[in-house]
Homo-oligomer: A and B are copies of this chain.
Amino acid sequence: MDGQAIAPPAVVLLSGGLDSATVLAIAISEGYRPYALSFRYGQRHEVEIAAARKVATSMEVAGHVVMDIDLRAFGGSALTSDLAVPHHASVEELSPGIPVTYVPARNTIFLSFALAWAETLGASDIFIGVNAIDYSGYPDCRPEYLAAYEAMANLATKAGVEGRLSIRVHAPLAKLTKAQIITRGLALGVDYAVTHSCYDPGPDGRPCGGCDSCLLRQKGFAEAATEDPALSV
């Protein structure tokens, strides 16, 4: 023992995108020992998982699990079925309402696996990169949803019932704009060159530049007045 306290473990949901990479950096900056959790859920492209691995490695996580779950068995989203991902010329043209790229109950499923791992690790803290401003209208990104999830989670586990865990769901990006997220991440040393945001990348893995996620990313870097390093890789 060197006298240093061991950092408490935390489970961090990590998609390999800009937001979750920033969340991972925030968890580390707050003194947690991060365990990253990613999902292969019938995405069209492996590039998301490859990005998650690069982000996890670049931030020296304590562990990284990539869980396979085939949500294609249920269908119902452009991200997991044959529905087309919509493209737009600019961020002003994004459709109102909840987009077809919504995946039914996705964050609920992701948080539930995070809860399982948290209990196994003895971790009270789960980090998720949802965002209530530039969030494209997903219901499972709203603060009232996250509060209800936390209340449920604290009734769900053996460790909770036995008083050893009190689950907290951290959503540190909830009230930040994309530009604020980028500024925060850059201050924490996030290497955005290894992150990936596009819903519909080309065969070479390069972003399409026209999906909702690409447009929000472009707007964020423009407003943060900095270049997106992923575009010059």
Please report A residues at the B interface, Cβ cutoff 8 Å: 65, 67-71, 73-76, 98, 102-109, 111-113, 115-117, 119-120, 138-140, 142, 144-145, 148-149, 151-153, 155-158, 160-162
Contact = CB atoms under 8 A, between A and B. Distances in A.
Contacts of A157: 104-105, 139-140
Given A108-B112, A138-B158, 6 more contacts: A67-B70, A68-B68, A71-B116, A105-B157, A140-B156, A142-B155
Copies in the complex: 2
A37 to B, nearest CB: 9
A153 B151 CA distance: 12
DSSP majority for the A interface? helix
Nearest to A159: B104
Residue of A69, A71, A105, A155 contacting most chain B CB atoms (<10 Å): A105
A98 B158 contact: yes
